[in-house]
């Protein structure tokens, strides 16, 4: 006849636990220790099934449970462990003292998963979902040059820093197909830069003008300059990728920006760079940054400082606005259909 049910469902209470029930369970477990859950409700005078008692104890009443919101470090740990372990919540919980598997699972499903999706990252595979932002449809790959009109249209959608970076990167290699690929990758990556930039400076960087844009496209940048520039930007402390594209940027009018990332973002950037031979030299910089011990307080402009004490919305916006575009009212969407 198979296994008998763990408890007689009839007559047993369900739903939220009362403080009285909690007190009974705590007192019983303190006196007798956890375990023997099937007989516990009867011995403790509880009208609950053993499984309900076990879940209540392990997920809520255990003295070592840490309540309250997840810290930024905990969140990072969850993401990194999930990328390695998958949905093994108990294994993840074992590495987060005071957190339960159920709590982590709920937090994943209600916060992190949504955030990753908004970032265009598949929460299962932890890889970027290109289908969410298929910029390739906006650029004519048959053109020997990057299609200027399309790029100008892109400029209306993307922060100018993104395009400056893209154009800088495109000068690294003379292969146009590869250029386009690199451009597409880094246009998306640089949404990170823009988003953090906005978070710190609380204002929108000015858009460059079309005539400036043509000058940018026509300008040739020595590849070693650009590479060293980007390498220099990776000398941020505390494991944060600090990018300052401004001093050597292609437009002289904007202010210096420093950009920081959660280390989770480094993995993505590092992976992206490693896929392209033009950027392999950057990997050492990533490695040195990632191996920097977190031994001193983070700078005020670090992601930790920004996120730990900020609101949930702010934390969301830090990573979730990666694909947020400014769309001018005059934009004709038919052009993209």
Task: List residues binding DNA (CB under 7 A).
Answer: 3-4, 6, 9, 13-17, 34-38, 48-50, 52, 54-56, 58-60, 67, 69, 86-91, 93, 101-103, 105-107, 109-111, 114, 312
Angle at 315 between CA 310 and CA 321, to 5 degrees: 140
Q: What is the dihedral of CA 52, 54, 59, 64, to 10 degrees?
A: 150
60 vs 207, which CB is nearer to DNA? 60
69 vs 127, which CB is nearer to DNA? 69
101 vs 321, which CB is nearer to DNA? 101
> Does the CA dihedral 243-248-252-255 come out positive or negative?
positive
Reference 165, options 143, 182, 177, 152; nearest CA is 182
Strand partners, 128: 121
Instruction: Compute CA distances 200 → 237, 250, 318, whole Å.
Output: 17, 22, 10
Collapsing DSSP to helix, strand or coil, 128 comes out as strand
> Does the CA dihedral 42-43-47-53 come out positive or negative?
negative
Nearest approach in angstroms of CB 54 to DNA is: 5
102 vs 254, which CB is nearer to DNA? 102
Contact in structure between 245 and 233 (CB atoms under 8 Å):
yes
4 vs 174, which CB is nearer to DNA? 4
Nearest approach in angstroms of CB 3 to DNA is: 5
Instruction: Compute CA distances 21 → 8, 11, 43, 145, 327, whole Å.
Output: 19, 16, 13, 72, 55
DSSP label at residue 121: B
Nearest approach in angstroms of CB 330 to DNA is: 24
48 vs 197, which CB is nearer to DNA? 48
101 vs 161, which CB is nearer to DNA? 101
Q: What is the dihedral of CA 10, 14, 19, 25, to 10 degrees?
A: 60
Question: 121 φ, ψ to 5°?
Answer: -110, 130
Residue the block writes with tokens 């594209």: 245
Nearest approach in angstroms of CB 34 to DNA is: 6
38 vs 153, which CB is nearer to DNA? 38
> Alpha-carbon distance 150 to 157, whole Å?
11
Residues contacting residue 9 through CB under 8 Å, at least 6 positions apart: 49
């Amino acid at each position: 006849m198979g296994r008998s049910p763990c408890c007689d469902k009839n007559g047993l209470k369900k739903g939220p636990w009362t403080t009285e029930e909690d007190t009974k369970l705590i007192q019983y477990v303190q006196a007798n220790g956890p375990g023997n859950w099937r007989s516990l409700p009867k011995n403790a005078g509880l009208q609950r099934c053993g499984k309900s008692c076990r879940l209540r104890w392990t997920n809520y009443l255990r003295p070592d449970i840490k309540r309250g919101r997840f810290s930024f470090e905990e969140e990072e740990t969850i993401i990194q462990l999930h990328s390695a372990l998958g949905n093994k919540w108990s294994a993840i919980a074992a590495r987060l003292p005071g957190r339960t598997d159920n709590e982590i699972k709920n937090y994943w499903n209600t916060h992190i998963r949504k955030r990753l999706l908004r970032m265009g990252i598949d929460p299962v595979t932890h890889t970027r979902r290109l289908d969410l932002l298929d910029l390739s449809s906006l650029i004519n790959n048959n053109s020997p040059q990057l299609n200027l009109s399309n790029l100008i249209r892109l400029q209306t959608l993307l922060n100018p820093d993104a395009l400056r970076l893209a154009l800088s990167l495109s000068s690294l290699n003379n292969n146009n197909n590869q250029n386009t690929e690199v451009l597409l990758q880094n246009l998306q990556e640089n949404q990170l830069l823009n988003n953090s930039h906005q978070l710190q400076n609380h204002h929108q960087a000015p858009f460059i003008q079309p005539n400036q844009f043509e000058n940018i496209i026509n300008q040739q940048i020595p590849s070693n300059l650009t590479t060293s520039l980007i390498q220099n930007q990776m000398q941020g402390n505390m494991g944060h990728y600090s990018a300052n594209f401004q001093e050597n940027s292609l437009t002289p009018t904007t202010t210096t920006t420093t950009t920081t990332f959660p280390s989770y973002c480094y993995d993505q950037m590092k992976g992206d760079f490693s896929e392209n031979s033009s950027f392999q030299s950057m990997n050492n910089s990533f490695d040195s940054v990632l191996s920097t011990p977190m031994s001193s307080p983070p700078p005020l402009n670090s992601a930790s400082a920004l996120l730990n004490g900020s609101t949930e919305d702010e934390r969301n916006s830090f990573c979730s606005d990666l694909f947020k575009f400014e769309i001018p009212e005059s934009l004709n969407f038919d052009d993209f259909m």
